A and B are shown apart, each in its own frame.
Chain A
Amino acid sequence: MRRVRLMMIAVLAFAVWGCSEEEPAFQVNLGRRVETSVSVPKRAVTYAYLPQFAHTVSYERHRLLVEYLQKATGLPIRQIFPDTFDEHVKMVERGEIDISFSNPFVYIRMAAAGARAFARIIEPSGAPEFYSQIIVRKDNRNIERIEDCRGKRWLAVDPSSAGGYIYALGEFYDNGIRREDFAEIAFAPGPGGKQEKVVMAVYAGAYDIGSVRDGALSLLKDKIDLAQVRILAESKRYPGWVYAHRPGLDPEVVNKISRAMFALNMDRPDEALILRTAGMRGIIPAVDADYAPVRELATKLGLEALEAIQ
């Protein structure tokens, strides 16, 4: 009888445990409603980075630089984020972007609309210019010279990538190889890490040849055996990314900004951090003529190539 009672108590204890412990709730009246409105940002110098990456990446890279420029110039500078290359170009043309940071090919399009270069960066390699590297697997005996690339499968970074595709294409042009001479031209799937993906694809043998900008190989030094990758050829050097201002921007503003930019020095740790975060070693003055080789390459590759970029 006592056992039965004990069992009943155990059952009741389970039941109580099963039903207890109610979570505390915060009382909210959803009846009180208001209409909301978005706060309008204050007028400022707009700074845009060609949307090569996601906005957050763009923001992350240039946040410190923009903050520095604000501080150095005393101007209100706000980073804005166009969604596409085309929008970037058009916003410059419409005057919505005051300071544009873009690659040389986009620049020559914007320059056509009146934008003017006033500064260019020193690449992480230390040179103010960069180039393409055409890579193959080390043991690929079918491709000994650049001519051997005919009929092969080529993986490039992106149709709009200067170092990852266009410069390499120019090199093939110079060697008499046209796009149609390849068995296939493919581009690395996005988003992000496209340079690395090209190296990985060639390393894995998925493609015969690959094209990356200089410095890309070193990104994978800890992941793969780089000795298995052979650099078949390198393109000519071309000037790197360029800062341009929209047509009609107050020259004083441009002046202030360019001065502040040029003042950045890798020797100062805080500025070095700014420069490294932005993916550069320094900013040097530039003029539109510096991009003549780019215009020349664009012409050489034809309007088709430009269209392709777009």
Chain B
Amino acid sequence: MKLAIDETRCKGCNLCTKVCPYKIFSEGKRLNRKGIALPELDRPERCANCRLQKLYGRQLCGVCQLTCPDQAIHWIDEEPYELHKVAIEY
């Protein structure tokens, strides 16, 4: 699972930066096309729901999603990691 912010919905209130226990969200600096500074994600793989939702089979934490007044935060499924060949040059 991967944490994602919906760019079309976020209004830049930065409430998510206050509630996340891992402090994953931080205030954004760059404005997008609508003139809104989206929060930046700092190492989102630390999120408890990203790591453990598959294992527990239920929603964990999820405070950022509940708090987000604009329903912009969600989790998307990721492709499982596949092994691939790496050519090593000597």
Do A and B pair up? The answer is no
Q: List residues of A whose CB falls within 8 A of some B CB.
A: none
